[in-house]
Structure 1
Amino acid sequence: MTSSVDVNARSDIGAVRHVNEDSYLAQDPVFVVADGMGGHARGDVASRTAVESLSRTLAAGTAPTPDEVMTAIDEANAAVRALSDAEETGAAVAGTTLTGVVRVRVPERAVEEWMVVNVGDSRVYAWDGRSLDRLTVDHSAVQELIDAGLITPEQAEKHPERNVITRALGAEDFVDADSVFVPAGAVPAFLICSDGLTRELSDETIAEILAGDPDDPAAVLVEAAIAAGGHDNVTVLFLRPRG
């Protein structure tokens, strides 16, 4: 790989929780956030297991294909799944979100692209210096209600099921990960975050902070989320591809 990435990363326990169940991997070609399922057994171990698995299968400096990325996610799912006993169900199952971007080579087109991957309700945004464009769709109960036209995004913020996710690594033997592709050079910066950021700060507020061009965007966003209440763990990666 000839290009490189400037990355800021910050993870914090927040103002309320006693354990940080978030983990992240910022190791070119992989930049992901994993949020252990809150209230579930071993959420911190689940998120850490997922990123450790990816760090092995998508090693630093490699140039994976999209198929290899999906295989790596399957292996991470199996590793997290192995944390739970066969008889465990529901809240006893260890699980985690997994969201981020991977630099991939696409053999069919002989190009390098960014592969955006998502399982759960952590998010990836594109940032062009002025506005945010969300590149992932939440796998959550409230997102399904929004998609069905039953509630508004504003109502979702206070909905009693706002913490319920519909997909997670470790929840089933097979995981269905979303993926989209972004041409190299098409996005000036990516913001990857756990829902501890987006539950506290609106997209508009996040954009206002980024527009101020802080030296360490990840740290500033995490501190702002904590100041706004910090009810959950908060993890942010801010990537500026270059080259």
Structure 2
Amino acid sequence: MMTVRSGVASDTGAVRTRNEDSALAGAGVFAVADGMGGHAAGDVASRLAIAALQRLADRPGLTPQDLRAGLAAANREILGAVRRQPERAGMGTTVAGLGLVRFAGTEHWVVFNVGDSRVYRFVDGTLAQVTVDHTAPGPRAGITRALGTDPAPEADVWMFPPTPGERFLICSDGLPLEVDNAAIAVVLAAEPSAQRAAETLVRRAVDAGGRDNVTAVVVDHVPAADDERYEQTAPPRSVR
């Protein structure tokens, strides 16, 4: 069995006046959503996405299909919010995350993303980006997939077995905008606490310029006794 410890931190940054990011560190689901739309209420879109995933966080026997269904539900709820309040037309959100699921009778990680929020995996001193940014190349670069669109976007999903000692970082694009991968790896290697690692990464991004909202969720997989399930440094929670 596994013990999972997590930490979460978020900041508006040094330039923006509103934090449109939301995050979740639940018992079995961890995610970051980066809202888009500004006056069109990107913060509402990100909050709706996280709320849909939070409903899955304590579900026993979570499956990859549950996570896909949760993302589809989030997309429907964002579109429904726009229908109820047309002034919010154009709001949307990226989302990236990590879920602990049952597959073929054993625990597996599922990594998912829509947009350019990211999931990194840090193991044996090596940092690797698991997700692929959904962005257009060139000078007119922009996000090519986001929740809040019709038809619904297709989420990228990866599934793999857990490795004791691995650490994951889920973040909005405000973090890699200011802190490169080498510096991220240094923090993840040096800070044993998931919560302090998340706080340090967010603080460094703000100190480096903070041109965007910045949010980080750090998830650690550590060995657990057979009679333990999950342990966290704080209760399941969401932030925005």
Aligned residues: 221
Q: CA deviation at 1:207?
A: 1.2
SS of corresponding position for 1:83: helix
Task: Decide which of 81, 100, 104 is 1:103's aligned counterpart.
Answer: 100
**Range that drifts further, 67-76 or 222-231:** 67-76
1:81 and 1:92 map into 2 onto residues whose CA distance is 9
Q: CA deviation at 1:79?
A: 0.8
CA contact (8 A) 1:81 1:173 kept: no
Q: Which residue of 1 aligns with 2:51?
A: 52
Q: Which residue of 1 aligns with 2:82?
A: 84
Q: Which residue of 2 aligns with 1:138?
A: 133
Unaligned runs of 5+ in 2: 225-240
Unaligned runs of 5+ in 1: 146-158
Please give the TM-score of this superposition, normalised by the length of structure 1: 0.84
Q: Which residue of 1 aligns with 2:3?
A: 4
Q: CA deviation at 1:126?
A: 0.4
1:6 and 1:186 map into 2 onto residues whose CA distance is 12
Please give the TM-score of this superposition, normalised by the length of structure 2: 0.85
Instruction: Return the letter of the residue paired with 2:116.
Output: D
* 1:22-41 equivalent positions in 2, closer than 5 A: 22-39=21-38, 41=40
1:79 and 1:187 map into 2 onto residues whose CA distance is 37
1:132 and 1:167 map into 2 onto residues whose CA distance is 25
Task: Decide which of 107, 118, 121 is 2:116's aligned counterpart.
Answer: 121
CA contact (8 A) 1:36 1:96 kept: yes
> Alignment identity in percent?
44
CA contact (8 A) 1:77 1:173 kept: no
Q: CA deviation at 1:214?
A: 5.4
2:208 and 2:70 map into 1 onto residues whose CA distance is 36
Q: Can you list the C-alpha shifts for 1:5-40, whole angstroms capped at 9, x where unaligned?
A: 111110111111111000011112110000001536
CA contact (8 A) 2:187 2:201 kept: yes
1:121 and 1:187 map into 2 onto residues whose CA distance is 26
Q: CA deviation at 1:181?
A: 0.9
- Over the aligned positions, Cα root-mean-square deviation in angstroms equals 2.1
1:20 and 1:192 map into 2 onto residues whose CA distance is 17
Q: Can you list the C-alpha shifts for 1:70-104, whole angstroms capped at 9, x where unaligned?
A: 11111111111212239969x94110011010001
Q: Which residue of 2 aligns with 1:191?
A: 169
Q: Which residue of 2 aligns with 1:153?
A: none
Q: Which residue of 2 aligns with 1:154?
A: none
Task: Decide which of 159, 164, 181 is 1:181's aligned counterpart.
Answer: 159
SS of corresponding position for 1:218: helix
* 1:58-69 equivalent positions in 2, closer than 5 A: 58-69=56-67
Q: With CA pairs under 8 Å and 6+ residues apart, which has the higher RCO, 1 or 2?
A: 2
* 1:201-212 equivalent positions in 2, closer than 5 A: 201-212=179-190
**Distance verdict in 2 for CA 1:120–1:187, change over 3 Å:** farther
Q: Which residue of 2 aligns with 1:235?
A: 215
2:119 and 2:183 map into 1 onto residues whose CA distance is 16
Instruction: Return the letter of the residue paired with 2:23.
Output: Y
Q: CA deviation at 1:69?
A: 1.4
Q: Which residue of 2 aligns with 1:150?
A: none
SS of corresponding position for 1:118: strand
CA contact (8 A) 1:122 1:194 kept: yes
Q: Which residue of 2 aligns with 1:149?
A: none
